[in-house]
Amino acid sequence: MSIARRAVAEVLGTGLLLATVVGSGIMAAKLSSGNDALALLCNTLPTGAVLVVLIQMFGPVSGAHFNPAVSICFVLRGELSWRDAALYIACQVAGAILGVWLAHLMFELPVWQLSTHVRTGPGQWLAEVVATFGLILCILGCRSCAPASVPYAVGLYITAAYWFTASTSFANPAVTVARSLSDTFAGIAPDGVLGFILAQMAGMLIGVTLGSWLWPTRRDA
């Protein structure tokens, strides 16, 4: 696929993912009557479901990364150039922000917001290391052993990770940046963004190191 098609696929895919994450969070908060467990469940299911659809749609075009951590993982494995990765990451961040703004417009909220939802601390950072580590292993393992299962495996993993991680599994720097621009159920206060991103990068590095040993490419061998 041409680089232009791949770039558009990453913008669209990441944008639709964020519109789903934030939009379902807004809807969940409206309908759950203050029940946070119910709101989280209502936020989780659409996110996991849309990931399956988006990866199926855009996987043949761009690889359906939608995540700077995933793009850098493939650079480190020799499957993507740094030049292409830089474009992917720019498209992912732009698409994520546009997706957040789209969700705000759909629910008639102010487009420009900054979150006040505090998410920080050692437990949250460790959760992001674990969430991103698991996501990378999920992708690398399934690509190696059963490529057709990747969309379903990623969707199911994120659905589970929403509940077993203290941070509700952001596992994605572009998602983290964009969600800081939404003062809704899915938001994260800007002060917490750097800690989350550093934790996500640490989880990615551990994941790609272990994953390259468990499922080596010819280059790794």
Extract the runs of DSSP E, i.e. beta strands, from the chain: none
Averaged pLDDT for residues 160-165: 98
pLDDT of 89 strictly over 80: yes
- Residue 195: predicted pLDDT: 98
Locate the domains of the chain by residue range: 3-214
Whether 28 contacts 38, CB under 8 Å = yes
The contacts found for 119-123 with CB under 8 angstroms, 24 or more apart, are: 119/167, 119/188, 119/189, 119/192, 119/196, 120/189, 120/191, 120/192, 120/195, 123/166
Mean local confidence (pLDDT), 44-55: 98
Of residues 139 and 219, more confidence is placed in: 139
CATH class of 3-214: mainly alpha
pLDDT value for 100: 98
Amino acid, single-letter form, for residue 157:
Y
Using 50, 70 and 90 to split pLDDT, how confident is the model at 221?
low
* pLDDT at res. 218: 62
- Which pLDDT belongs to residue 172? 98
Q: Which helix (H) or strand (E) holds 207?
A: helix 193-214
Instruction: Work out the average pLDDT over 37-41.
Output: 96
pLDDT 10s digits, 168-213:
999 999 999 999 999 999 999 999 999 999 999 999 999 999 999 9
Distance CA 45, CA 50 (A): 9
* 219 pLDDT above the threshold of 70: no
Nearest to 67 by CA among 139, 167, 188, 175: 175
